[in-house]
Amino acid sequence: MLPLSESVDPLRAAVQFHWGVKIPLRDGVHLNATLYTPKAHSTPGPCLVTLTPYIGQMWHSFAVYFAAHGYPFLAVDCRGRGNSAGTFRPFIQEAEDGHDVVEWLARQPYCNGKVAMWGGSYAGYDQWATASQSPPHLATMVPVASVYPGLDFPMRNNVAYPYVMQWLTFVSGRTSQERMFFDSQPFWNMRFREWFESGASFKELDALLGNPSEIFQEWISHPHGCPYWDHYNPTPQQCARLAIPILTITGIYDGDQPGALAHYRQHLENAPSEVSARHYLIIGPWDHAGTRVPRSEFGGLEFGPASLVDLPKLHLQWYAWTMQQGPKPPFLQQNVAYYVTGAEQWRYADTLEAVTARSEPVYLQSSGNPTDVLHSGTLVAEPPRENEPDRYLYDPRDVSHAELESTIDPYSWSDQRLVYATRGQQLIYHSLPLAADAEICGFFRLIAWLSIDQPDTDVRVSIYDIGLDGCSVALSSDWIRARYREGLREEKLIRTRAPLKYEFARFTFIARRLKKGHRLRLVVGPINSIYSQKNYNSGAVICEESLQDARQVRVLLYHDRQYPSALYVPFGHPESSGKSVVPLTALSSATVREITP
């Protein structure tokens, strides 16, 4: 597929451009919009709209593309951004403003009363926010890589990240700061490292980065799920009333995949079955940006030609089907489409749950403390025997790897330098080599029995595909802040050294064919990164902790008969690939002791 800018160039002459369109809102504020209409547009037709804090000009090429194909397109600056009046308050303002924009657009002479929404990330979120207000003329929407505030932004699993200030700087004031925003290496990474090494609290981050922010301070004052964050997102009742056809798009490597799938699931859980049947989901082999314009390579990974779906064309087909009685897009063979990397093929299922044929446990074992990738523990089929717990020490005052980490692309999925550099500070387990190809499709789950000797700490678990040459590809990860072990809406500091059950059940979706001879690697360790809020383990208010509060923590991981720690592996359907799937549990554990990982 040609880059979008090249593919639409011959059509630009067919588009009429209208600068500075003003849209009145219910409170008297006027939003600024740029309107693109087809020159050949003689009768009213369906229209598209996107509401963006990134200034409408950022989506100029997409707007030209859709207008050239017959759909008037309105790129609207969010309240308080660009040339729009009012004050910008991220996310919270978009529900009512989006409703008013849709209804205003439906009344324009070039619109036949059918309005669709387009856009990704923030503009994916504001589609859900707008839909929560039930605007009568919203005919369909295609939320892409949608944020779910409070769940995956400005924190995930209640662990915030410095990137929040990079983003807030991007949308500060009224003009675009895109060059500043995209200078991650070395500009932002260097500043995150300076904060990380300084030992300053997370609450001081905005001032240290040179942009004191009331929004940042407001957000971090609500560190876990609560009514404050509920107010940002559609309620179950609003989802139940949402009856329009929806196409949700996200990626295996999309940082907002958790948010996109949370919106998707909430709608399906609350909408009537005849409505949820018109909600389609696509999960491609894409990162966040790739959910708009797919690439065949990023972060050291390469994908087959089938990964390069012409998404703008698919949007056109979707709009024609849902608003103009056109044919159903041929790509949408079933309600869920997902790409299996390694196999380099698309698969289909009726539901997201149906992607996984079965989830099988492999149990963590070790004959010695497995803190080195070359002397690891194992993942085996049999329930555990009597074993001593594995252990690692984490000292939050250790910042020795900050400079190395700042040179690594956080979206790189094959770089192992940090895995080796942090030997002794994490626990590592390998499965047996696969006797044949196997497809891992769905969501991992880990039950780990952990003991800590401090009131709190953060524990991250990561899973990799290890090739015959030792090269690793990251599959998925999850983490738990110990104080939220029992749920994300209530904190309970740890008051015992007895082992407690930690259920890591928020891994990201993965679909990958592992080749014969490959193994799974499980890594369990602390979060000690320039890209994450730092937990100093004291049990104090997280955003106020600093180096002076730091406490070394001793983490024990149990794996015996009483406390069986196990990784649950999601296997895909054999019939979907035409190949037999060899479960890890079918392999002999006697072989395990003969293999040196």
Q: Looking at the structure, tell me whether residues 183 and 239 fall in a common domain.
A: no
Check residue 580 and give its pLDDT: 41
**Residue 418: which pLDDT band, with cuts at 50, 70 and 90?**
low
Check residue 417 and give its pLDDT: 57
* Residue 33 contacts residue 100 (beta carbons within 8 Å): no
Check residue 12 and give its pLDDT: 81
Render pLDDT for 162-174 as a digit per residue (tens, 0 to 9).
Answer: 999 999 999 999 9
Check residue 387 and give its pLDDT: 87
Check residue 588 and give its pLDDT: 31
Check residue 11 and give its pLDDT: 74
Going by C-beta distance under 8 Å and a sequence separation of 6 or more, which residues neighbour residue 77? 31, 32, 33, 52, 53, 55, 56, 83, 84
**Residue 591: which pLDDT band, with cuts at 50, 70 and 90?**
very low
Render pLDDT for 12-42 as a digit per residue (tens, 0 to 9).
Answer: 888 999 999 999 999 999 999 999 999 987 8
Query: Phi then psi for 414, rounded to 5 degrees?
Result: -130, -5
Question: Of 53, 30, 91, which Cα lies nearest the Cα of 177?
Answer: 53
Cα 339 to the center of its chain, rounded Å: 16
Residue 321, classified by CB atoms within 10 Å of its CB into exposed (0-12), middle (13-18) or buried (19+), is middle
Q: Looking at the structure, tell me whether residues 397 and 383 fall in a common domain.
A: yes
Q: Looking at the structure, tell me whether residues 180 and 233 fall in a common domain.
A: no
Q: Looking at the structure, tell me whether residues 91 and 213 fall in a common domain.
A: no
Question: What's the whole-model pTM score?
Answer: 0.93
**Residue 185: which pLDDT band, with cuts at 50, 70 and 90?**
confident
Check residue 184 and give its pLDDT: 84
CATH number at residue 372: 2.60.120.260
Q: Looking at the structure, tell me whether residues 439 and 403 fall in a common domain.
A: yes
* Residue 63 contacts residue 34 (beta carbons within 8 Å): yes
The separation between the first and the last C-alpha atoms of the chain, rounded to the nearest angstrom, is: 42
On the question of a cis peptide bond just before residue 574, with omega within 30 degrees of 0, the verdict is no
**Residue 590: which pLDDT band, with cuts at 50, 70 and 90?**
very low
Q: Looking at the structure, tell me whether residues 113 and 85 fall in a common domain.
A: yes
- List the domain range (segments joined by +) for residue 505: 358-594
**Residue 414: which pLDDT band, with cuts at 50, 70 and 90?**
low
Q: Looking at the structure, tell me whether residues 371 and 467 fall in a common domain.
A: yes
pLDDT higher than 90, residue 587: no
For residue 349, which amino acid is it? Answer: A
Q: Looking at the structure, tell me whether residues 451 and 486 fall in a common domain.
A: yes
- Count of domains observed in the chain: 3
* Residue 66 contacts residue 41 (beta carbons within 8 Å): no
pLDDT higher than 50, residue 66: yes
**What value does the mean pLDDT take over residues 117-125?**
97
**Residue 136: which pLDDT band, with cuts at 50, 70 and 90?**
very high
Q: Looking at the structure, tell me whether residues 146 and 40 fall in a common domain.
A: yes
CB atoms within 10 A of CB 273: 7
Q: Helix axis angle, 60-68 relative to 311-324, nearest 10°? A: 50
**What value does the mean pLDDT take over residues 354-374?**
94
Check residue 404 and give its pLDDT: 67
Boundary residue ending a domain (333, 355, 377): 355
SS3 at position 280: strand
Alpha helix positions (H), 365-424: 402-406, 417-421
Using CA of residue 315, residue 9, residue 284, residue 167, what is the dihedral sign? negative
pLDDT higher than 70, residue 106: yes
**Residue 546: which pLDDT band, with cuts at 50, 70 and 90?**
very high
Percentage above 70 pLDDT, the chain: 91
Render pLDDT for 244-299 as a digit per residue (tens, 0 to 9).
Answer: 999 999 999 999 999 999 999 999 999 999 999 999 999 999 999 999 999 999 88
Structure token pair of residue 476: 């998925």
Average pLDDT, the chain: 92
Q: Looking at the structure, tell me whether residues 386 and 518 fall in a common domain.
A: yes
Boundary residue ending a domain (355, 382, 399): 355
Q: Looking at the structure, tell me whether residues 65 and 132 fall in a common domain.
A: yes
**Residue 408: which pLDDT band, with cuts at 50, 70 and 90?**
low
CATH number at residue 131: 3.40.50.1820
- Where residue 121 falls (left for φ over 0; alpha for ψ -120 to 50; beta otherwise) is left
Check residue 406 and give its pLDDT: 63
Render pLDDT for 441-482 as a digit per residue (tens, 0 to 9).
Answer: 999 999 999 999 999 999 999 999 999 999 999 999 999 999
Q: Looking at the structure, tell me whether residues 398 and 416 fall in a common domain.
A: yes
Question: Of 490, 476, 485, which Cα lies nearest the Cα of 445?
Answer: 476
pLDDT higher than 80, residue 77: yes
Boundary residue ending a domain (320, 355, 390): 355
**Residue 46: which pLDDT band, with cuts at 50, 70 and 90?**
very high
Check residue 41 and give its pLDDT: 75
Check residue 13 and give its pLDDT: 85
CA 545, CA 547: separation in Å to the nearest integer? 7
**What value does the mean pLDDT take over residues 107-129?**
97
pLDDT higher than 50, residue 498: yes
